[in-house]
Amino acid sequence: MRIRSALFIAIVAGIAATSLAFISSAGAEDKPASEAPKHMSSAVFAGGCFWCVESDFDKVDGVIETVSGYTGGHVANPTYKQVSHEDTGHYESVKVTYDPDVVSYNQLVTYFLHHIDPTDASGQFCDKGESYRSAIFVSTPDERATAEADIADVSATLPSPVVTQVINADTFWPAEDYHQDYYHKNPLKYRYYRAACGRDARVKELWGEEATGH
């Protein structure tokens, strides 16, 4: 059973009725496809609330686009309601499209680990349940080796074991339109949710000055 914070549920309920007003392609507001370089790669990360993971990665130089979605489960084309309330096996996740000439996969993995709580096996911050666990989804043996090496490195600096999983990449299903770029569309609600959930406070407690750019 997934336990989404009452705060998150209230926010989603409040914006669902007006979500059609915000229909747009994911990431199109900030990073139009016409600006994307020809040579791009992608990576998928799960770190709890995908609104927050998306916002964090959008601050990284070399990241072209971020898309919130679901992956790792057994249900085709899942909905938010299914993922958050049923046993679909999916993780809330974010697909990051990036220019490897500007930022490396290793740098993205390191950044990701320093912007979550990789020691929490029950979820992330105020959101608990299987769909909110942290994971790195890898597409190649090199990506797996990089992710596992980075996890080993950070494990040596933390007081508790790292439980972030490294999982073979599976089909990525984009989330509903109202979830995309949520932090841009609803900045006040987003900032309130993020602060009330304790995300940045916990990240700072774990990583100190190593975690910046929230």
Given a cut of 60, whether residue 1 has pLDDT beyond it is: no
DSSP 8-state symbol, 211: S
pLDDT tens sequence across 144-180: 999 999 999 999 999 999 999 999 999 999 999 999 9
Task: Please tell me the predicted confidence (pLDDT) of residue 27.
Answer: 44
Q: What's the whole-number average pLDDT of the chain?
A: 87
- Please list the active-site residues: 49
Contact 125, 117 (CB under 8 A): yes
pLDDT tens sequence across 92-138: 999 999 999 999 999 999 999 999 999 999 999 999 999 999 999 99
Given a cut of 50, whether residue 25 has pLDDT beyond it is: no
**Burial class of residue 38 in the structure, from the number of CB atoms within 10 Å of its CB (0-12 exposed, 13-18 middle, 19+ buried):** exposed
Structural Rg of the chain based on CA atoms: 16
Given a cut of 80, whether residue 14 has pLDDT beyond it is: no
pLDDT tens sequence across 32-70: 545 544 689 999 999 999 999 999 999 999 999 999 999
Q: Could you tell me which residue, 11 or 29, shows the higher pLDDT?
A: 11
Beta strands of the chain (E only): which ranges? 41-47, 63-71, 91-98, 123-124, 127-128, 134-138, 165-168, 173-174
Given a cut of 50, whether residue 29 has pLDDT beyond it is: no
**From CA 51, how far away is CA 67, in angstroms rounded?**
9
Given a cut of 80, whether residue 26 has pLDDT beyond it is: no
Task: Please tell me the predicted confidence (pLDDT) of residue 209.
Answer: 74
- Residue 43 pairs with which residues in a beta bridge? 96
